[in-house]
Amino acid sequence: MPEAIKLLQVSGLRTEFRTPAGAVQAVRGVSFGLDPGETVGIVGESGSGKSVTALTILRLIKSPPGRISAGSVKFRGIDLLAQDDAYMRSIRGNRISMIFQEPMTSLNPLMTVGDQLAEVMQWHQNLSRREGMNRAIELLRKVQIPSPEKRVRDYPHHMSGGMRQRVMIAIALACDPAILIADEPTTALDVTIQSQIMDLMLGLKDEFGSAVLMITHDLGVIAEMAQRVIVMYAGQVVEAGSVYEIFDEPLHPYTQALLRSVPKLGSRTEKGRHRLQEIPGLVASLINIPDGCAFRERCRFAGPECNGAIELQAAGDGRMVRCIKVA
């Protein structure tokens, strides 16, 4: 029997950047799948390759200096890395859309939010301007922007950071995408606003039924939203499993360290969501990476056997770990 075609199947993805200091290996052989309607969290410290993975999926890596050097990104069985730009434009913002950390960089400052929303729908769905504007008002209501009939005429700089992120979510959902990639969607916001945006996203996820790739360094967000978790370190997946497995019994020493840096998972304190604290040691350099486990310099279990090539291995049903000490 042929294998079932996945909604999204990322396989062996590699992305690098040319810099004066050498080639930065930002993504080093990342593979994972996404099923319809599920939420997968990608977690890892800053610099682990989460954003580059997301940008590679949508072919938004600027070249030069970037280059996607290997792998495939199959959306419903079609490799996006092998398609032309016109095909990618028909996918982006339509079948797969993305929310970025800083909404101001992706909103056009010279256009009203209503026109920006209407434009996306006119482009992908052939709506008239009037239909587009009515749908824009409807979407602003869905993302709980008060008085949407008035706010459609606002420019982005008239809005607060939280309201702008709501507009970005509305734009991302405008064409009812099969996949929503959210890259640290609340990181740039105040903590109280962060909670409101997360609650909004939780509600909309059920309503729209999109699969979500939730990229974050906030384990609280993962605990609340994701069914499965991918842990990234130095451009590689070091562990993958269900949210329960990862939180109850983390296998990789890096995942264990991440979890130790968060005292009470999933809880919201008066100071806001728990953030990853520093794990001792420097994040591995991504230029001239030596063989072996990238985490070994910081790992309290590391021994000489960690210097050889270490593969991601199955560790139970659907669980993967890249560590020879536990596999």
Ligand X SMILES: Nc1ncnc2c1ncn2[C@@H]1O[C@H](COP(=O)(O)OP(=O)(O)O)[C@@H](O)[C@H]1O
Residue 48 contacts which entry, Mg ion, ligand X, none (Cβ below 5-8 A, type-dependent): ligand X
Residue 63 engages ligand X in binding (rule: CB under 6 A)? no
231 contacts ligand X (rule: CB under 6 A): no
> Which one of ligand X, Mg ion, none is in contact with 52 (Cβ closer than 5 to 8 A by kind)?
ligand X
Closest CB to Mg ion among residues 132, 235: 235
For residues 173 and 204, the answer to whether their CB atoms sit within 8 Å is yes
Does position 51 interact with ligand X (CB under 6 A)? The reply is yes
Phi, psi angles (nearest 5°) of residue 8: -135, 130
CB distance 27 to 56 below 8 Å: yes
Q: Which residue is it, tokens 């790992």?
A: 299
Minimum distance from CB of 289 to ligand X (Å)?
A: 11
92 secondary structure, DSSP code = B
Residue 162 in contact with ligand X, rule: CB under 6 A: no
Contact between 52 and ligand X by CB under 6 A: the answer reads yes
Nearer to ligand X, 278 or 317 (CB): 278
Q: Which amino acid is at 144?
A: Q
Provide the minimum distance between the beta carbon of 89 and Mg ion in the complex, in angstroms, as a whole number.
Answer: 24
Report how far Cα 282 is from the mean position of its chain's Cα atoms.
Answer: 23
Could you tell me which stretch among 42-50, 102-110, 144-152, 294-302 binds ligand X (CB under 6 A)?
A: 42-50
103 Cβ contact partners less than 8 Å away, ≥ 6 residues apart = 156, 161, 164, 165, 167, 168, 188
Binding of residue 50 to ligand X (CB under 6 A): yes
β-sheet with 313-314: strand ranges across? 96-99, 179-183, 211-216, 39-43, 228-233, 236-242, 320-321, 313-314
Indicate whether 26 belongs to the interface with ligand X (CB under 6 A).
yes
Considering only 9, 15, 51, 186, the residue that binds Mg ion (CB under 5 A) is 51
Cα(284)–Cα(190) distance, integer angstroms: 30
Of the candidate residues 10, 32, 44, 99, the single one contacting ligand X (CB under 6 A)? 44
Q: Could you give the residue ranges of the DSSP H alpha helices within the chain?
A: 50-57, 85-91, 103-106, 113-125, 129-142, 148-151, 161-173, 191-208, 219-225, 243-248, 253-260
Site string for ligand X, 270-309 (x = CB under 6 A): ----------------x-----------------------
Phi then psi dihedrals of residue 310, to 5 deg = -125, 120
Does position 186 interact with Mg ion (CB under 5 A)? The reply is no
List contacts with Mg ion (CB under 5 A). 50-51
List contacts with ligand X (CB under 6 A). 17, 19, 24, 26, 44, 46-52, 65-66, 286
